[in-house]
């Protein structure tokens, strides 16, 4: 059985949640309901459908865990979405803050042949415009090593790895500051009590608030190049 578009949405979000958890492949249904903006009963119904189709296992009080078949469906959905985002930004010249919802709509109707042509035209990228890794065509998700900008020590030379918000306003603002994946920066100062952070970026000084800084993950150049 192949997964429907709605099924793939659930599987992809479940995979994303599990991917960044430490040694825990189980995802709570409440967390899934929150990221999908649906009610807990709706999640319960879909979980049952996905379980019957062999895409996940459900263990009470622990949550759900994708089966190999479920992971494959999730990875292909994630690959399609992130490649479409890259195509929209790199080829069609959309802003990186404009493409998340557009990629959802376009990815839902584009065939795999079209999406793979998009990948070629975009230069076969390894990350989406926001720095998230793109699964390979044979279903392997590259492992990202990075850290919250709010937690790193001052005066380290780092690279922005990922920007973990879909908020268009925040992305647009970060873009005006030059804070995008692949950009080198140094955390020069961090005010106490969750105060603003002072960054050295491309020869200039930028100051951003603690909350916004929480959307930025950073790593060394060597760690960035691993993806």
- pLDDT, residue 60, reads 87
Mean predicted confidence (pLDDT) in 204-219: 97
Task: Identify the three-state secondary structure at position 104.
Answer: helix
Specify the domain boundaries for CATH 2.30.30.90 within the chain. Answer: 147-224
Cα–Cα distances (Å) from 137 to 16, 18, 78, 140, in that order, read: 17, 20, 11, 8
Mean predicted confidence (pLDDT) in 182-203: 96
Residue found under tokens 């557009």: 102
- pLDDT, residue 24, reads 80
Residues 189 and 183: their CA atoms lie apart, in Å, by 18
Do the Cβ atoms of 206 and 179 come closer than 8 Å? yes
Res. 1 pLDDT band, cuts 50 70 90: low
pLDDT digits (tens, 9 = 90+) for 3-43: 888 999 999 999 999 988 767 889 999 999 999 999 999 99
Residue found under tokens 């479940």: 14
- pLDDT, residue 191, reads 96
Please identify, in words, the CATH class of the domain defined by 147-224. Answer: mainly beta
Length of the chain: 227
Whole-structure pTM value? 0.92
Q: Give the burial class of 2: count Cβ atoms within 10 A of its Cβ; 0-12 exposed, 13-18 middle, 19 or more buried.
A: exposed
> Which of the listed CATH numbers 3.40.50.2000, 2.30.33.40, 3.40.640.10, 1.10.10.10 matches domain 5-66?
1.10.10.10
Helices (H), ranges, the chain = 5-19, 29-36, 40-52, 68-90, 100-109, 112-121, 168-176, 210-213, 221-224
Residues 180 and 108: their CA atoms lie apart, in Å, by 27
- What percent of the chain has pLDDT above 90? 90
In the structure encoding, which two tokens stand for residue 5, read together?
């578009």
Q: Is the pLDDT of residue 61 over 90?
A: no
- Specify whether the backbone of 194 is left (phi greater than 0), alpha (psi in -120 to 50) or beta: left
Taking alpha carbons only, the member of 65, 56, 73 closest to residue 3 is 73
- pLDDT, residue 19, reads 86
Query: Angle at the Cα of 80 (from 91 to 45), degrees rounded to 5?
Result: 145
pLDDT digits (tens, 9 = 90+) for 63-112: 999 999 999 999 999 999 999 999 999 999 999 999 999 999 999 899 99
- What average pLDDT is seen over the chain? 95
> Which fold would CATH assign to domain 79-138?
Arc Repressor Mutant, subunit A (1.10.10)
Cβ count within 10 A of residue 62: 13
Specify the domain boundaries for CATH 1.10.10.10 within the chain. Answer: 5-66, 79-138
List Cβ neighbours of 20 (8 Å cut-off, separation of 6 or more).
Answer: none
pLDDT digits (tens, 9 = 90+) for 181-191: 999 999 999 99
């Amino acid at each position: 059985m192949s997964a429907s578009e709605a099924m793939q949405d659930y599987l992809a979000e479940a995979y994303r949640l599990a991917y960044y958890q430490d040694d825990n492949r189980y995802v709570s249904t409440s967390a899934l309901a929150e990221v999908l903006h649906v009610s807990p009963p709706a999640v319960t119904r879909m979980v049952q459908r996905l379980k019957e189709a062999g895409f996940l296992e459900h263990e009470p009080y622990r949550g759900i865990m994708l089966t190999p078949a479920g992971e494959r469906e999730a990875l292909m959905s994630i690959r399609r979405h992130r490649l479409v985002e890259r195509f929209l930004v790199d080829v069609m010249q959309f802003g990186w803050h404009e493409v998340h919802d557009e990629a959802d709509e376009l990815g839902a109707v584009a065939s795999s042949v079209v999406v793979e042509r998009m990948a070629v035209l975009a230069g076969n990228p390894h990350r989406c415009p926001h720095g998230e890794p793109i699964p390979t065509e044979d279903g392997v998700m590259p492992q990202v090593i990075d850290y919250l900008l709010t937690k790193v020590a001052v005066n380290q030379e780092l690279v922005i790895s990922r920007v973990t918000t879909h908020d268009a306003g925040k992305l647009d603002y970060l873009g005006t500051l030059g804070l995008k994946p692949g950009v080198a920066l140094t955390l020069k100062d961090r005010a106490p009590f969750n105060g603003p952070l002072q960054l050295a970026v491309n020869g200039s000084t930028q100051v951003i608030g603690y909350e916004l800084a929480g959307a930025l993950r950073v790593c060394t150049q060597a760690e960035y190049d691993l993806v």
